[in-house]
Amino acid sequence: MLIPRALATIGILVACGQANIAFSSEDKPDNIAAAYSEGGRYFTEDDIPTYNVAEDGTVDWLTFSGFRRYHSECHVCHGPEGEGSTYAPALKESALEMDYYDFVDVVTNGRKKVNAAEQSVMPAFGDNRNVMCYLDDMYVYLKARGTDAVPRGRPAKKEAKSDAIREAENACMG
């Protein structure tokens, strides 16, 4: 199964014992701006998936796909457009505040916080291909929502799906 490039990086970091890299506020890489693109995907200077929105409002394929995937899997708990609900937090904020690798970990393995002050349970989606094969898509969509680069609602214009994205999707979905 082909794993998206950024997810493969997690395995390398874990294997090397470098999964918890700390940055000070001065040298923390920009986790928003697209530094380069590869096969229709956009990445920050530190190889983290990100969005790209053209001046005319055209969004990259992953952001468009992320909108669709988020609304098929996540909005029931986390609310439409990543806005949050009375049941679960706003993910558009989490995508900006949370480290990418922590985001992947929470979605993959779930998280449980139960104490006197809060009761929060995020189920694990690591075995759900409809989530895992499109995790980067949902992440970049939520980043775009968090910065208000993409307004509420379905993006009106999108880039075409690249052959590289199509091949990765087919390999992941089996």
Strands 111-114 and 49-50, sheet pairing: unpaired
Domain spans of the chain, in order of start: 5-22+56-173
Candidates 151, 152, 169; CA nearest to 62 is 169
Residue 117 — left, alpha, or beta (φ > 0 → left; ψ -120 to 50 → alpha)? Answer: alpha
Residue with tokens 């920009």: 30
Q: What distance lies between CA 42 and its chain's CA centroid?
A: 12
Q: Is the pLDDT of residue 49 over 50?
A: yes
- Please state the pTM of the whole predicted model: 0.77
Candidates 142, 2, 173; CA nearest to 62 is 142
| Packed helices 135-146 and 100-109: angle between N→C axes, nearest 10 degrees | 130
Find the radius of gyration of the CA atoms of the chain: 16
Label residue 86 by pLDDT band (50, 70, 90): confident
Who has greater pLDDT, 55 or 74?
A: 55
Structure token pair of residue 22: 């700390």
Q: What is the pLDDT of residues 88-138, one digit of tens each?
A: 776 777 777 888 999 899 999 988 887 787 777 888 888 999 999 999 999
Which phi and psi angles does 79 have, rounded to 5°?
A: 80, 160
41 forms beta bridges with 38
Who has greater pLDDT, 40 or 12?
A: 40
pLDDT of residue 83: 67
Label residue 65 by pLDDT band (50, 70, 90): very high
pLDDT of residue 30: 61
CATH code given to domain 5-22+56-173: 1.10.760
Q: What is the pLDDT of residues 125-144, one digit of tens each?
A: 889 999 999 999 999 999 99
Mean pLDDT of the chain: 80
